[in-house]
Amino acid sequence: MIQSPVVKSLYNFATVNAEEVAQVYPNGIQDICDRQIDGLIIENILNPTEIGKVVSQLNRKGPLEGSPFGDILIYGPALYVSSEDTGKYCQEAVEFRHFCRQLFSGGRDFERRMSEVLSTLSGGRVVELPKAADGSEYTPASIRVLETDQFMGWHFENQFLHCTPGYRELINKIELSDHLAYFVVLSDPEAGGELVLYDIQWHETEWTDRENGGRGCNGTINGRPLAEVMEEYSQMTISPKPGSLVIFDGGRILHRVSAVKGKRRRITIGGFVAFSRQREKVFYWS
């Protein structure tokens, strides 16, 4: 068997090449959910030519009109900001998938590639997009663009399970113990823009009002607000190369993306991954 380096620091992230992942981590999603490893970094899932073509088309500055993401430019809808009625979200999913197909048309189609890579990690399970009651499909991903000095604030993906009305249907379909996050790096910043993981796990935190607290990010650890004490805890940073897929237990591990430094933008395309309730399927969505 090919030996893959497991970074023995705060969390165990294994780095593998896209070509060897089927051999080394054929059940990688389960390995993460069962805490054999905390995450995987799979390099070269897209090649530099494919990525270059995509990035050269993403020239917009500033958020889309009416964006729910503040100053950050995000293409595609996100279930965590959807209302309980996912109709609008599903319509935006259709539009985003069309946009994404055009965007990646100079190389391998993102959606097809992502489903292929997740399938190699799925232990033979089918990989599907969740569907709304009327059969409309969720979006497989969204694209996140961080300009100089922009960042993503701290969170656990588990917060979404409790506080976001958009998740009301999905929580009945997915295994709630491990809500994984995934992203593929399309453009890496000159500095900063690191994924920062903290030595703080979901089960160690307290959310007196999970619904509003999750949204307001006012969880505590040992009774002290996370926002005030998190920097006292050990950290680990990850700065993957363009073309790499990172998949990790973002539901369980407190994380954030540090501010981008330098002129080059940080662009990622990603979403979330979870098993269905009986683990017979793998769902991915954004």
Interface ranges with ligand AKG (CB under 6 A):
144, 152, 157, 181, 183, 195, 250, 255, 257, 268, 270
**Rounded Cα–Cα distance for residues 253 and 33 (Å):** 12
* Nearest to ligand AKG of 63, 136 (CB atom): 63
| Region binding Fe ion by CB under 5 A among candidate stretches 3-11, 212-220, 242-250, 261-269 | 242-250
**What are the strands, taking DSSP E only, across the chain?**
6-8, 12-17, 39-43, 73-75, 126-128, 142-146, 152-155, 180-187, 191-192, 195-201, 205-206, 220-221, 224-225, 235-238, 245-248, 253-257, 260-261, 266-275, 281-285
Q: What angle, rounded to 10 degrees, do the helices at 87-103 and 110-120 form?
A: 100
* Nearest to Fe ion of 118, 125 (CB atom): 118
| Minimum gap (Å) between residue 114 Cβ and ligand AKG | 13
Q: Does 257 bind Fe ion (CB under 5 A)?
A: no
Instruction: Find which of Fe ion, ligand AKG, none residue 257 binds, CB within 5 to 8 Å per kind.
Output: ligand AKG
Inter-residue contact 277 to 42 (CB < 8 Å): no
Q: Does 200 bind Fe ion (CB under 5 A)?
A: no
* Nearest to ligand AKG of 126, 227 (CB atom): 227
Three-class DSSP category at 144: strand
Q: Which distant-in-sequence residues (6+ apart) come within 8 Å of 23 by Cβ?
A: 1, 2
**Rounded Cα–Cα distance for residues 65 and 244 (Å):** 30
| Minimum gap (Å) between residue 181 Cβ and Fe ion | 5
* Nearest to ligand AKG of 20, 69 (CB atom): 69
Q: Does 192 bind Fe ion (CB under 5 A)?
A: no
Positions in 131-190 near Fe ion (CB under 5 A): 181
* Nearest to Fe ion of 93, 253 (CB atom): 253
Residues forming contacts to Fe ion in the complex (CB under 5 A) are: 181, 250
